[in-house]
Amino acid sequence: MVIGKGSKLYSIINLNCPRCHQGAFLEANPYKLSNFNKLKERCPKCQLKYSIEPSFYTGSMYVSYGVGIAVAVTVYVLTLILGLALKPLSLFIVIVVALVLTGPWIAAVSKSIWANIFFNYNKEIAEKVN
């Protein structure tokens, strides 16, 4: 299955504008700590204002919780698949380390998912700005 423009998953994975799927969603890479998780005010391509209202992305914290749980469960399943017989404390430490390392990505993807809930892809606008 190819994830192409027009799918919400394309916008989420690539951290692109939810409306045109071309403009950048973040100011910089999620792991660049000087601009940690800072969103652009508008899409550089279609000029979509990313924030509908003040504190709009507060709701992305709920999404972040779910994505964090998914990462933790994935790490746990990987330890089972790899046959690592970890004690509960060791497993906990491995999961915490994985969450700390993926934290910036989780925060960025959660904001992208939140934006994609409220904004839809518009093919006409995407073709216009291309």
**What are the tens digits of pLDDT across the range 65-113?**
999 999 999 999 999 999 888 999 999 999 999 999 999 999 999 999 9
Alpha-carbon span 60 to 66, nearest angstrom? 10
* Helix or strand run (H / E) with residue 74: helix 60-81
Instruction: Give pLDDT, residue 1.
Output: 46
Query: Which structure tokens are listed for 66?
Result: 């779910």
| pLDDT reading at 24 higher than 50 | yes
